[in-house]
Structure 1
Amino acid sequence: MCKGVKPISQRQNKCFICMCRENYSESSEKLSKNYKNLQGLSRHETLIHSNYNIPRVGLIPQPFEAISEFKKTLVFLIQNKLKNGYQERKQHVNAPCLESLFVGTFHGNIKRYSPSREYYYCIFSGVEAYETLSQIFKDPKWSVREYKNQQQTWVVLVSQDTNQIQPEMVIQWRRKKIKDEANHVSEAGYIFLSFMIDQIYY
């Protein structure tokens, strides 16, 4: 499993190394395979370490109050997509998000972390996913919005049709960067959510 991405001689040699947390040491670094670019290292991660999910070392934990407020914000953003009379079943949400805030919210449920691409990936599907996300968000009604005349709009995480691919909620964190013609770089972490919705009439 990869510990992280370490450039050798910074930008001079443009060489990257994948460091295993279990057996990496400064003395063993020279024995590790080097990659000339991030594409090569990314392929290595995908093929060899596709289940790696240990967050980056050195993240500063967020206060409990900040994480709780962030969870409420996520529920609001999801609820805002549960429209009455929607036109698209597939919904997307994105918002600025600190890496440490994402990890503090979804720790224990991160399916994959890619050090080279700087992204985290979570996936929730099936009946049990409703309860899991209810516990994460601390809100048992995060997935449903009530309307008049006994109408409800839901986040769909399970399908009765076994011949179909089961619906899922995918939650990711990625770092977005902008580089202008003067080589000035600005960056920010973002959270991305994608999910299916449906409406029920009673």
Structure 2
Amino acid sequence: MGKQTLIVPCPESLFYSIFSGHIHYYSKHTSKYKCIFHGDTAYQELAKIFNNPNWGRKFYNQNQQTYIVCKDYDRFVNIIEHNKEEEEIDTLEILTQNNLSVSQLSNKSKKSRVLQREFLVEWKKKQIKKADGNCCCIGQIHFSFFISQAQILKI
């Protein structure tokens, strides 16, 4: 489905209290914080932070769902679908053969600031200059991520 960005107003102190143990980058010059979640533990870490085990999923009628992609689920599902006719599927072997390392992911084209299997959380200060010359600053959290969708078939 593609990249999505959600922007929410938030004071710096609140952002820091929520994400303090997960900050990967801070710029004193721009007052920007960056947290990157990816891999097998991303969903669990964010579930603890958001206090919701289904934080990255939205369920619809007819067993459809949209979900945030933090690891290579789409590739795994496509391989399983492709190999359905085979009698025995070794899912561990499929995951091992097709697992992308973090270095391989970071070598991809970086048109976007967030890679396809990352959940990026940034806090930025936005300055607004008014016509009368006054400036005001607000803090914003930017959530950047990729989503995909699936339909669960009951057999």
Please report the TM-score for the alignment, with normalisation by the length of structure 2: 0.69
Find the partner of 1:187 among 121, 137, 150. Answer: 137
Match of 2:20 in 1: 107
Match of 1:174 in 2: 124
Distance 1:152 1:93 in 2: 19
Match of 2:64 in 1: 151
- Provide the identity percentage: 37
Distance 2:64 2:130 in 1: 48
Structure 1 stretches of at least 4 aligned residues deviating more than 6 Å after TM superposition: none
Distance 2:132 2:147 in 1: 44
Distance 1:148 1:179 in 2: 46
1:141 aligns with 2:91: no
1:96 aligns with 2:9: yes
Partner deviation per Cα, 1:71-109 (whole Å, 9 max, x = no partner): xxxxxxxxxxxxxxxxx4111100110000100111100
- SS of 1:198's partner is strand
- SS of 2:43's partner is helix
Q: Which 5+ residue runs of structure 2 have no aligned equivalent?
A: 76-97, 106-115
Distance 2:140 2:58 in 1: 25
Partner deviation per Cα, 1:18-50 (whole Å, 9 max, x = no partner): xxxxxxxxxxxxxxxxxxxxxxxxxxxxxxxxx
1:130 aligns with 2:80: no
Q: Larger relative CO (CA 8 A, sep 6+): 1 or 2?
A: 2
Q: Which amino acid aligns with 2:16?
A: V
Give the CA RMSD over aligned residues. 1.7
Q: Which amino acid aligns with 2:51?
A: K
Q: How many residues align?
A: 115
Please report the TM-score for the alignment, with normalisation by the length of structure 1: 0.53
Q: Which 5+ residue runs of structure 1 have no aligned equivalent?
A: 1-87
- SS of 1:132's partner is helix
